Amino acid sequence: MISPFAERGTHEIIESGSDFAPKFDASGLILAIAADAATNEILMVAYMNAEALAKTIASGEAWFWSRSRKALWQKGKTSGNTLTLVEMRIDCDQDAILMKVDIAGNGVACHTGYRSCFYRTVPIGAEPSETLTLVFDKSMRRVEGPAGD
């Protein structure tokens, strides 16, 4: 698919202009962050190719590119946990997307059943080693049954 977006211009145009010219990496992907529109809680991080980004903008629902399956996928298509866009932003050099979303279904964004993909913490101040242990966030609810997809 040929990108439907503006050609990337100068550094000044990219950072100060109004042309939407997303910067895709060497694999044709751009980082996409989904945050709850009401709370700003980060729900998930995934990647989009030009087609996924175009479908997301046109439909108002989140679409992504699966790097492992090498396929386009609509978030929540099978689980019902769709992400509906409230707002979309792009960072200063246009190489990352922030989507503020409303989540449908049972409110689960992570395929493991947690509301957010960020349900574990890394101990700060600990000595980095092979035995460094993650801590599960006890306030993060987990839903059994159809999870995020």
Residue 145: pLDDT band (50, 70, 90) is: low
Distance CA 148, CA 80 (A): 8
Residue 128 is assigned to a structural domain of this protein? no
Instruction: For residue 52, give its domain range.
Output: 11-110
- Asked whether the predicted pLDDT for residue 148 surpasses 70, the reply is no
Number of domains in the chain: 1
Q: Please name the residues in contact with 120: beta carbons below 8 A apart, sequence gap of 6 or more.
A: 134, 135, 136, 137
Q: Record the tokens describing residue 34, joined without a space.
A: 């989904």
Residue 100 is assigned to a structural domain of this protein? yes
Q: Is the pTM of this model over 0.85?
A: yes
Read off the pLDDT of each residue in 128-139 and give the average, rounded to a whole number. 92
CATH number at residue 88: 3.10.20.810
Distance CA 11, CA 35 (A): 28
